[in-house]
């Protein structure tokens, strides 16, 4: 069988959720499947990101600056769609011209729920791309039941056309510390994600400020991520906080994966009160590191976290602060969430994700 894959997400320099998904899935397919043939369609060489390709994988490097999937890949499909058994696009949209058998992964419908986060051009592109996927893809993969239901609810799609395949995580990077924390080491609560409204950055800071009203709690708050929509409002709010609280809120900016894993492992608590997630990689990564998690009880997060995290209402800073306080002050509870999180994280792997995806591609190709 000849499988085409849109590798444009893997080719991107910035590696956030969808780019990470594309890269890890392709790498795992390279590892588990030596029977099928693959063509990776890409705007640039992928070997610096993927490593050397096995014999059954080849690249078709076709440079193009904008709307690569819709325009440049479409042009390539004019001549290649007849020879492909199936085309797989790891992110949201499909080319205008595509094989009859095309599978796409839709990660979330964030642009419908938070349109203010996008420019008019970006919003139009997102809507057009998803409409293309919903109307013309042979099958859709989603990373959560929540996203599947969201598509069915908003587009009236037959649920049988959508399969949930959970993401994995990098278990080489995200694993418990080899050595216990140093006695007397600095304690901190950790958050990773874009510093923006959708991630509930204001609620996070409000909850932390309430937590610090407890005199014996001295934890710092460490934030890893680039500024996003609503960042200016958050910075203005910071200025209203007591000086000792302000100095204990540390912004790292964007942190590369290797360094990020170190920050996660050494955190006392991972705090992720996001308003919206299609999957929520950071929750599983923190659990795998043996770090207790406090996170939102809305969108896909409860589905991914299960009972292995403390689930809170992200609209209630006091409730979030109370959960953090309870974890810090109750050693038995703290230990129980470490254990539950480690067990929960074992349910997710890229091997499982890649095998399920390959099964879908093979079934669609045979139809």
Is residue 70 assigned to a domain? Answer: yes
pLDDT tens digit string along 218-264? 999 999 999 999 999 999 999 999 999 999 999 999 998 889 999 99
Is residue 174 assigned to a domain? Answer: no
**Residue 141 sits in the same domain as residue 217:** no
Residue 181 has pLDDT above 90, yes or no: no
Give me the pLDDT at residue 178, please.
Answer: 75
**Residue 26 sits in the same domain as residue 101:** yes
Mean of per-residue pLDDT scores for the chain: 94
| Nearest partner of 354 among 1, 30, 14, judged by Cα | 30
Instruction: List for the chain the helix, strand, coil content (%; round to 5).
Output: 45, 15, 40
- Structurally, the chain folds into a number of domains equal to 2
Residue 280 has pLDDT above 70, yes or no: yes
Residue 182 has pLDDT above 70, yes or no: no
Is residue 259 assigned to a domain? Answer: yes
CATH number, residue 21 = 3.40.50.2000
Q: What one-character-per-residue DSSP string does 109-158 give?
A: -HHHH-GGGS-HHHHHHHHHHHHHHHHH-SEEEESSHHHHHHHHHHH---
Structural domain that includes position 50: 2-168+349-366
Give me the pLDDT at residue 326, please.
Answer: 98
Which backbone phi and psi does 234 adopt, to 5 degrees?
-60, -45
Task: Say how far apart CA 180 and CA 200 lie, in whole Å.
Answer: 31
Q: Which residues pair with 38 in a beta bridge?
A: 3, 57
pLDDT tens digit string along 67-124? 888 889 999 998 887 899 999 999 888 999 999 999 999 999 999 999 998 889 989 9
**Residue 293 sits in the same domain as residue 358:** no
Angstrom distances, CA of residue 158 to CA of 32, 109, 135, 163 = 31, 17, 11, 11
Backbone φ/ψ region at 9: left (φ over 0), alpha (ψ -120 to 50), beta:
alpha
| Nearest partner of 193 among 292, 108, 288, 271, judged by Cα | 271
Is residue 173 assigned to a domain? Answer: no
Of all residues in the chain, the percent with pLDDT exceeding 90 is: 87
**Residue 148 sits in the same domain as residue 214:** no
Give me the pLDDT at residue 180, please.
Answer: 66
**Residue 137 sits in the same domain as residue 228:** no
**Residue 148 sits in the same domain as residue 211:** no
Q: Which helix (H) or strand (E) holds 243?
A: helix 243-246
**Residue 149 sits in the same domain as residue 49:** yes
Task: Say how far apart CA 133 and CA 93 lie, in whole Å.
Answer: 5
**Residue 229 sits in the same domain as residue 242:** yes
**Residue 337 sits in the same domain as residue 353:** no
CB 129 within 8 A of CB 70: yes
CB 361 within 8 A of CB 3: yes
pLDDT tens digit string along 11-69? 987 777 889 999 999 999 999 999 999 999 999 999 999 999 999 999 999 998 788 88
Is residue 109 assigned to a domain? Answer: yes
- Side-chain-side CA neighbours of 227 within 13 Å: the count stands at 6
**Residue 163 sits in the same domain as residue 35:** yes
Place of tokens 């993927």: 50
**Residue 326 sits in the same domain as residue 357:** no
Which backbone phi and psi does 228 adopt, to 5 degrees?
-140, -160
Give me the pLDDT at residue 141, please.
Answer: 98
Give me the pLDDT at residue 26, please.
Answer: 98
**Residue 212 sits in the same domain as residue 161:** no
């Amino acid at each position: 069988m000849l499988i085409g894959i849109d590798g444009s997400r893997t080719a991107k320099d910035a590696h956030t959720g969808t780019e990470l998904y594309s890269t890890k899935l392709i790498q795992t397919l390279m590892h588990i499947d030596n029977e099928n043939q693959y063509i990776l369609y890409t705007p640039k060489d992928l070997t610096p990101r993927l490593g050397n390709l096995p014999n059954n994988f080849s690249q078709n490097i076709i440079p193009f600056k904008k709307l690569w999937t819709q325009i440049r890949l479409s042009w390539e499909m004019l001549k290649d769609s007849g020879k492909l058994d199936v085309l797989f696009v790891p992110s949201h949209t499909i080319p205008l011209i595509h094989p009859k058998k095309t599978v796409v992964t839709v990660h979330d419908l964030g642009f419908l729920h938070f349109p203010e986060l996008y420019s008019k051009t970006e919003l139009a592109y997102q809507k057009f791309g998803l409409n293309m996927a919903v109307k013309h893809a042979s099958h859709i993969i989603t990373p959560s039941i929540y996203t599947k239901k969201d598509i069915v609810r908003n587009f009236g799609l037959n649920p049988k056309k959508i399969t949930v395949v959970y993401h994995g995580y990098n278990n080489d990077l995200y694993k418990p510390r080899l050595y216990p924390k140093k006695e007397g080491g600095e304690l901190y609560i950790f958050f990773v994600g874009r510093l923006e409204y959708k991630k509930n950055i204001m609620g996070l800071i409000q909850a932390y400020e309430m937590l610090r009203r407890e005199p014996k709690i001295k934890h710092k708050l460490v934030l890893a991520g680039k500024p996003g929509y609503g960042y200016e409002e958050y910075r203005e709010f910071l200025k209203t906080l007591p000086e000792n609280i302000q100095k204990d809120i540390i912004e790292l900016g964007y942190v590369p994966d290797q360094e990020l894993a170190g920050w996660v492992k050494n955190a006392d608590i991972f705090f992720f009160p996001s308003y919206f997630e299609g999957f929520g990689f950071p929750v599983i990564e923190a659990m795998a590191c043996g770090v207790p998690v406090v996170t939102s009880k809305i969108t896909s997060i409860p589905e991914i976290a299960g009972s292995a995290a403390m689930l809170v209402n992200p609209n209630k800073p006091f409730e979030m602060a109370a959960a953090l306080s309870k974890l810090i002050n109750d050693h038995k509870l703290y230990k129980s969430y470490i254990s539950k999180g480690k067990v929960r994280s074992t349910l997710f792997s890229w091997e499982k994700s890649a095998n399920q995806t390959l099964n879908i591609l093979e079934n669609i190709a045979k139809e």
